[in-house]
Amino acid sequence: MKRNLPAAIALMLVLGMSQTATAADPLPSWRDGRTKQAIVDFVKQVTAKGGPKFVPPADRIAVFDNDGTLWAEQPMYFQLAFVLDRVKSLAPQHPEWQEKEPFKSALAGDLAGVAAGGEKGLLELVAATHAGTTSEEFEKAVKDWLAAAKHPRFNRPYTDLVYQPMLELLVFLRANGFKTFIVSGGGVEFVRAFSEKVYGIPPEQVVGSSIKTNYEVRDGRPVIARLPAIDFIDDKAGKPVGIQKFIGRRPLMAFGNSDGDFEMLEWTTTGPGPRFGLIVHHDDAPREWAYDRESHVGRLNRGLDEAPQRGWSIASMKSDWRRVFPFEK
């Protein structure tokens, strides 16, 4: 085997060269047009050695919102579906929940009732469903749920509802020396439970909201105990704060879909040198959903108004994306 290795390498190299020469489109699910061109041009510029806009690989940081940017967020945030299902599965140990809000509404699947409890009610649900376990137990609970739960519209696992064009974009950026991060308003441990498998993004490159934890040794076994108290909300102005806290440098590219991502896009694109911002616009009801300025989830208002003057690209699901989900033909 070893004697043939140089020949094999030579062959691979030749094949590799011809592949580069007639390179397949790295973003086949993006339709040719202004948005795709803007992405490809930007990446070409910052990776052109000796070029005026060259950026060293260490500074090629790209940040992605998750809900509505990498996977769907309708009819409700998928993590909220997890909360509701988890309330149901924990209910037998909590007979008092049958008569107590917000659990009563959650058990009945009554979202309006849950919403009526306001922030206090929501925190009670988070405490009941996200705390009281170790970090390892919680990770298992999320993985078990993702393996079993089905999305109500598509009747498929939630992790099937990731956007094919964004998966291609992640691969394309990493192939060009970018480090890809998720910066999510969702719970960091919830997203970490599937980010590596689904997006190729390792847990240490996920920034998100978190609850407080505590290190304890229980009967000689160390655990990270999850506590019923909010530690950090990684949304809106919290996103640049989370980026600085976890990543420690300003990103080169940012991708979002709602006004919750506005400050992340603003912080990224007002940095010196070349910067890139993109908003995914949900305007495709037949294939996905159509919502923006008036939506209760993923509301996009200021971003739509200011994107042109700020030089942010808008990716129209309807016209820029040839395919939305990987399971589409």
Interaction of residue 196 with its own copies, rule CB under 8 A: yes
Interaction of residue 270 with its own copies, rule CB under 8 A: yes
Tell me the window of 103-111, 144-152, 169-177, 265-273 that interacts with its own copies (CB under 8 A): 265-273
Residue 111 or 233: the one with the smaller Cβ distance to its own copies is 233
According to CB under 8 A, which one of 205, 257, 258, 313 is a site residue for its own copies? 205
Interaction of residue 244 with its own copies, rule CB under 8 A: yes
Interaction of residue 252 with its own copies, rule CB under 8 A: no
DSSP collapsed to 3 states, the chain: CHHHHHHHHHHHHHHHHHHHHCCCCCCCCECCCHHHHHHHHHHHHHHCCCCCCCCCHHHCEEEECCECCCECCCCCCHHHHHHHHHHHHHHHHCHHHHHCCCHHHHHCCCHHHHHHCHHHHHHHHHHHHHCCCEHHHHHHHHHHHHHHCCCCCCCCCHHHCECHHHHHHHHHHHHCCCEEEEEEEEEHHHHHHHHHHHHCCCHHHEEEEEEEEEEEEECCEEEEEEEEEEEECCCCCHHHHHHHHHHCCCCCEEEECCHHHHHHHHHHHCCCCCCEEEEEECECCCCCCECCCCCCCCCCCHHHHHHHHHCCEEEEHHHHECCCCCCCC
Q: Nearest distance from residue 190's CB to its own copies, in Å? A: 11
| Cβ neighbours, 10 Å, residue 154 | 14
Residue 275 or 282: the one with the smaller Cβ distance to its own copies is 275
Q: Nearest distance from residue 245's CB to its own copies, in Å? A: 6
Residue 198 or 224: the one with the smaller Cβ distance to its own copies is 224
Q: Nearest distance from residue 224's CB to its own copies, in Å? A: 5
According to CB under 8 A, which one of 81, 107, 149, 241 is a site residue for its own copies? 241
According to CB under 8 A, which one of 9, 108, 147, 229 is a site residue for its own copies? 9
Interaction of residue 315 with its own copies, rule CB under 8 A: no
- Strands 206-218 and 179-187, by their bridges, are parallel
Interaction of residue 192 with its own copies, rule CB under 8 A: yes
Tell me the window of 36-44, 88-96, 231-239, 295-303 that interacts with its own copies (CB under 8 A): 231-239
Torsion region of 248: left, alpha or beta (phi above 0 gives left; psi -120 to 50 gives alpha): left
According to CB under 8 A, which one of 94, 143, 153, 249 is a site residue for its own copies? 249
| Cβ neighbours, 10 Å, residue 196 | 14
According to CB under 8 A, which one of 91, 131, 237, 304 is a site residue for its own copies? 237
Residue 110 or 306: the one with the smaller Cβ distance to its own copies is 306
Distance linking the first and last C-alpha atoms of the chain:
41
Contact call for residues 165 and 319 (beta carbons, < 8 A): no
Residue 25 or 231: the one with the smaller Cβ distance to its own copies is 231
Interaction of residue 311 with its own copies, rule CB under 8 A: no
128-167 residues in contact with its own copies (CB under 8 A) are 135
According to CB under 8 A, which one of 121, 165, 240, 303 is a site residue for its own copies? 240
Interaction of residue 235 with its own copies, rule CB under 8 A: no
Rounded distance between C-alpha atoms, residue 315 and residue 36, angstroms: 8
According to CB under 8 A, which one of 234, 259, 266, 288 is a site residue for its own copies? 266
Give the interface with its own copies as residue ranges (CB under 8 A): 2, 5-7, 9-10, 13-14, 17, 58, 61, 135, 179, 181, 188-189, 192, 196, 202-206, 210, 213-215, 217, 221-222, 224, 231, 237-241, 244-249, 263, 266-267, 270
